[in-house]
Amino acid sequence: MPATTKKNVLPSNTIEYQRTVINDMAGDLHSIFTGTAAINAASIQIAGADIGNISDVDDKTIYFYYGAFTTDISVSSPAKVAEIYSHEDATVDIDNGVTVTVDDQCALIISDKTSYEFFSTSTEQTNLQKIVGFADNIRTSIVADMTLGGKKRVGFIPVPSYASDVPVDIDDTFTMTVDDGAVLII
């Protein structure tokens, strides 16, 4: 039986770190039981507070930043600062009839990024060997219809620099759509 290390997950931890904790738990369960163990988490709650869906990645292939306003929103006290990670070739859109309000002494900042910033460790950016098989953190094959558009404005397919000869494939039966105002970075 494996020794399980307690991991503290805080609301400030990235979704990727939280996903890593869940995957580690699944690996431990797998080694305890015969057969396979799977944990599927659609959302995470910490201390009763819902911190959101695990939805900033499509099928472990495209990691993305949001950049659109579909409902009224305000940047105001006490937070006072709101930031959107974007890219110089992407747009941040405001739907018709939607109001974005930035109060005095507050700021809405759009920062251009050329890489995905939410990986908490380098091990989340590769598929390291685990107790059972290899981690399944990143993929370089698109095996489902995927779209960058709507709120998903900037997408990244991470390929480690030491694996630059590994191609990004799109299966012939699937479509990768990048709408106007969105950008995909490989």
Q: Per residue of the chain (186 residues), give pLDDT as tens.
A: 344 566 667 666 677 777 777 777 766 655 555 444 444 444 444 444 444 444 588 888 999 999 999 999 999 999 999 999 999 999 999 999 999 999 999 999 999 999 998 888 888 889 999 888 998 889 999 989 999 999 999 999 999 889 989 999 998 899 999 999 999 998
pLDDT tens digits along 65-96: 999 999 999 999 999 999 999 999 999 999 99
With CA atoms as reference, report the closest residue to 118 among 137, 141, 133, 91.
137
CA pair distance 46, 10, nearest whole angstrom? 7
- How many Cα atoms are found within 13 Å in the side-chain-facing hemisphere of 169? 8
* CA proximity to 91, closest of 118, 110, 117: 110
Q: Which H helix or E strand runs over 59?
A: none
Give the C-alpha separation, 75 to 63, whole Å.
25
